[in-house]
A and B are shown apart, each in its own frame.
Chain A
């Protein structure tokens, strides 16, 4: 039973009776699609952001660094990638976070698993995938993002790259006089509610634009538009999609709805997922900020490993799905 069925009835009534658009016409379908998707995505975003933000109140980086310090290699990577699912990545926090982790004995590989997973597995993208593709694809996105974070962090840990961290990082002393605030359930819920408000305010305009463009493509673009150019037969499609995705950071929320309608027009799912991951995982502003703590060589290794992981995932899904 589709939980969103009542919304579809409401939107059908609104579009066909109130706006008196004809059912079956391209315009009617496109507007129906736009309103239905917007309402559905809005509800999913509110629910998922609230849940994730609530869990997040238990996972302040100040506490996470304690959880992750001196953890045995692969387990450290796995825990870090899991915690990363629930934490957003504000590139402005990256520098103090990185220093704080390294300072309190979190290994470099574990730190990277966290740094990769936090932006790569992002609750807004997950909510959009859930709304537009269903739970299987949403889960696949989370699982493959998790594996990329674990493996990439593990490999980087094995490479012993400590000498490529900027030297001053090791000189900074973090005072440990800091006490985590104790919060009541009510305060946590209130914090989560504030998060929902601020994230929705930030991303929803992009989502609406994305859905509008998606609705337009859905209604007007010819079927099989992309089958020939970016279909499974074209081996360069995945790497090219990833390279296009890297600089597109700020529009992550708008990208998923557009990509979802491109899939209808023949874009393979693996290529689409790789593109989307590149959009959320790697961005220019983030790299510029990370350059403050990482020497260029380490930064490039980081970008190369994550890019390779995403491209591999793209090929894998094109192959199995």
Chain B
């Protein structure tokens, strides 16, 4: 599973990244987590509200900091 976190490096994006790592660890799944901070790359996903979460190149959430529990539901 390929997970990407889109965000320009604000505190919210860092929280989303930490929550995502926690969710992945808790679920014991194999996943690569990549942070995308380049604005041109973020816009390629069509997202304009950050932070956003991308799973296997599909935008699953945008403009919100999800809790680890919410992320687990999306990864299932």
A residues near B (Cβ < 8 Å) are 60-62, 65, 90-93, 95-97, 99-101, 103, 172-178, 191, 194, 198
Contact = CB atoms under 8 A, between A and B. Distances in A.
Contacts of A92: 7-13, 50-51
Contact of B48 (A174, A177, A191, A194): A174
Contact of B45 (A61, A97, A99, A178): A178
Greatest chain B CB density within 10 A among A65, A103, A174 is at A174
A59 to B, nearest CB: 10
A101 to B, nearest CB: 8
B8 to A, nearest CB: 6
Contact of A97 (B9, B40, B46, B48): B48
A100 B63 CA distance: 14
A178 B61 CA distance: 12
B39 A99 contact: yes
A62 B49 CA distance: 7
B5 interface: no
Interface of B: 7-13, 39-40, 42-51, 59, 62-65, 67, 70
Instruction: Please report whether the interface of chain B is mostly helix, strand, loop or mixed according to DSSP.
Output: loop
Contact of B10 (A90, A174, A177, A191): A90
Contact of B46 (A90, A91, A175, A198): A175
Contacts, number: 72
Given A90-B10, A92-B11, A198 B44 contact: no
Given A62-B47, A96-B43, 5 more contacts: A60-B62, A61-B49, A92-B9, A96-B48, A97-B49
A100 B42 CA distance: 11
Among B11, B42, B47, residue most surrounded by chain A Cβ atoms (within 10 Å): B47
A169 to B, nearest CB: 9
A100 B12 contact: no
Given A65-B48, A96-B8, A172 B62 contact: no
B13 to A, nearest CB: 7
Contact of A93 (B40, B44, B45, B63): B63
A100 B43 contact: yes
Contacts of A100: 43, 48
